[in-house]
Structure 1
């Protein structure tokens, strides 16, 4: 078992850690004085924070599905902080941004402009249903804050229900409704009135059932709403991004019924998984429901511009006398241009259908891997978002922390980058533009690394 300073095992909760012996060994393999010098400079000038300091490597370029370090080594990027649906530097996105820079690079927030109006209109079209009102912001965390504020205005209730292990951003209000200890540790009192409930997890759920159903997690939501009272909103990711937990349609449809029954606004945080990741524009489309508010970001900016949006219904346009956001870069012409270009590429390249076809291929490949390697306890996913959970024993489901690190660094050696979540889940989220040959090559790398694992 890997040992952590001060016993900080909670650092496993979100991403792979950078304080282990395996990470130190990784640095030695870089074998680049220039890289070492720049990592030291980064550590000198930036505030240190968990999961960012020290950095893993130094990048020199990013193009398509690849990132490239100072030594010229290229890695297929299956992480990308969830911004790289179109990969990096998509020519259509860059051209649209460059054109916008020459026409209108910035708009003070008291003014509007055609690019912003076109972007808002297009978002309402792809969101569909009653989701026809938009508010922009510079990033996803800000959008979550706006949604929480609007829920208070609409319902008159300030309390919120969220899920343990959820992530909704790193600001104080966002970590208040988030469920990860690594963000809340040492922060003291957070936003009052937040009740957390267990997420609908089948493989490691706290309420397991023999039939592998998850609808009873929704029933527990209703129990909390009725017992607590004063609940204005339920906020959740459509599906858990980092360790890839995919609820059933039955779960989400039951949640929708409960929220309607109790006048609770359903806020779906689709910041990491929107814009086609699931083979649908947004995850709620996969579950045949409609939220009251939809939070999107990350990939909305085309892997270039920080940009996010809140999409809601006309009947909730009730906060005209309150500044829900009022951010300096609220109607960013550059952000809107990037978003419009991103949507256009997804449509013209028929990426939603492509992702569904890729899903079938990945499903088959990972099922075969699970049959071959007992260290794989579970595989789960949708579209081009997949999790491979490594365990030391399938019966006890003990997390294979060290094995996951072995696989991560071996894959990096072989030219594939991804994220480890919960300490033992290999999270694979490739760009949606990835060609089938590259997808196959990446999965071959994963399988090779898993086949070489040595369990101590």
Structure 2
């Protein structure tokens, strides 16, 4: 089992790429061309945490697979959350190619039919009162627009967010984010941010015997009343990184508190939107509606970067303010990709498929939990699952080395995923994955778990 581990906040976002295990993985690549490409990458790109050095080099991506320079394929169970449709979906490619040939760019002060159709379709699948859209190049920008609009609407600049949350890597986004690794060494950030503990079922800050989580929502009201001047509460409906799934009662209470105190509820569905929960958007699984919705990543079908902030008609009051002012504000190519993505999800029946696959994954993972003592918790929704590895079930001690060993064995056997918080295996496969492929991937994962239990003396 793990010995003498001194975890740091740098474990919070993903697997650590400077450990001996990563160095051993890099050294194991005996292909000269791959090593040469990795060397060139290291020499030309500015190094940064969690992406340097790279895991491998890629030459192709199709369906659920990414393929490296040697021809090795990985089932991609991470995909930076752009891969709801996998890679190279024919409908998305067709629509984008047609758009490039017709209208490749639209200056910001002009509009175009594709952008209008995309916005109309987006408001249709949001339903309810969410019927006003602004597009942007990426999810971080959508969050920035929502924060600005909340200030304009409420006249209050303070924001409440959750510890360990991620809302983007720009200065305003890391200001409201809850992960210390992104704020490290950055100096003064955006003023007026308060953070509260998330509703965590397995190792929460304020656990209760019955496992309920509404008291975490009540803490939001406590902070709003004590702090004053709060204009917005921002959170993911389900946290993507280490997969935290609050109850419906929690979100119902959050909505009530925001309404009572005139606080804008901003739901960040950038990684989980477009079907990953089994609904178009994750908040829909909870029966609530935010004041603002931020989406991105998978909106472009794994092909084109595009995001959106969606809000209500009653908040369409900022005509004298430049909310986004982005060059690609109504990108015909981006909107063609987004429109095709929504069409493909409908045409392929992926929402219903995701709900069925979710039940299958839950059953298989719970069987593993009962069998392998290194698994402390299994939680998830739709096609987003977190498997938390621990060295001790009572103390819930994070199994850092074990999680890393599982990661690299699965990579060796052709399954790629992310590790969050240093010990949570996050599995988020493409929604298009077949049951046979899903079964194969889970078998590879179970083999790795079994080997780790043996190697680390859990049996």
| Structure 1 moving runs of 4+ over 4 Å | 1-4
| Structure 1 residues 3 and 150: CA distance shift in structure 2, 3 A | farther
Corresponding residue for 1:73? 72
Structure 1 residue matching 2:88: 3-state secondary structure = coil
1:77-98: per-residue Cα shift (whole Å, max 9, x none)? 0000000000001011000000
1:330-355: per-residue Cα shift (whole Å, max 9, x none)? 10101100001000000011100000
1:269-297: per-residue Cα shift (whole Å, max 9, x none)? 00000000000000110000000000000
Equivalence map 1:335-374=2 (5 Å): 335-374=334-373
For residues 423 and 303 of structure 1, what CA distance do their matches in structure 2 show?
27
For residues 379 and 32 of structure 1, what CA distance do their matches in structure 2 show?
37
Corresponding residue for 2:381? 382
Query: What's the offset of the Cα at 1:2?
Result: 8.1
Corresponding residue for 1:25? 24
For residues 350 and 30 of structure 1, what CA distance do their matches in structure 2 show?
40
Equivalence map 1:120-159=2 (5 Å): 120-159=119-158
Corresponding residue for 2:40? 41
Equivalence map 1:234-245=2 (5 Å): 234-245=233-244
Corresponding residue for 2:10? 11
Corresponding residue for 1:86? 85
Query: What's the offset of the Cα at 1:11?
Result: 1.3
1:361-400: per-residue Cα shift (whole Å, max 9, x none)? 0110011000000100000000000000000111111000
Query: What's the offset of the Cα at 1:25?
Result: 1.1
Query: What's the offset of the Cα at 1:24?
Result: 1.0
Structure 2 residue matching 1:452: 3-state secondary structure = helix
Uncovered stretches (5+) of structure 2, i.e. residues with no partner: none
Structure 1 residue matching 2:203: 3-state secondary structure = coil
Uncovered stretches (5+) of structure 1, i.e. residues with no partner: none
Query: What's the offset of the Cα at 1:29?
Result: 2.1
Query: What's the offset of the Cα at 1:38?
Result: 1.0
For residues 39 and 175 of structure 1, what CA distance do their matches in structure 2 show?
29
Corresponding residue for 2:456? 455
> CA RMSD for the aligned pairs?
1.1
Equivalence map 1:226-375=2 (5 Å): 226-375=225-374
TM-score by length of 1: 0.98
For residues 217 and 394 of structure 2, what CA distance do their matches in structure 1 show?
27
Structure 2 residue matching 1:440: 3-state secondary structure = helix
For residues 52 and 11 of structure 1, what CA distance do their matches in structure 2 show?
13
For residues 9 and 213 of structure 1, what CA distance do their matches in structure 2 show?
29
For residues 151 and 33 of structure 1, what CA distance do their matches in structure 2 show?
53
For residues 401 and 272 of structure 2, what CA distance do their matches in structure 1 show?
28
Paired residue total: 454
Query: What's the offset of the Cα at 1:10?
Result: 1.6
For residues 42 and 415 of structure 1, what CA distance do their matches in structure 2 show?
23
Structure 2 residue matching 1:60: 3-state secondary structure = strand
Corresponding residue for 2:182? 183
For residues 257 and 164 of structure 1, what CA distance do their matches in structure 2 show?
21
Query: What's the offset of the Cα at 1:9?
Result: 1.9
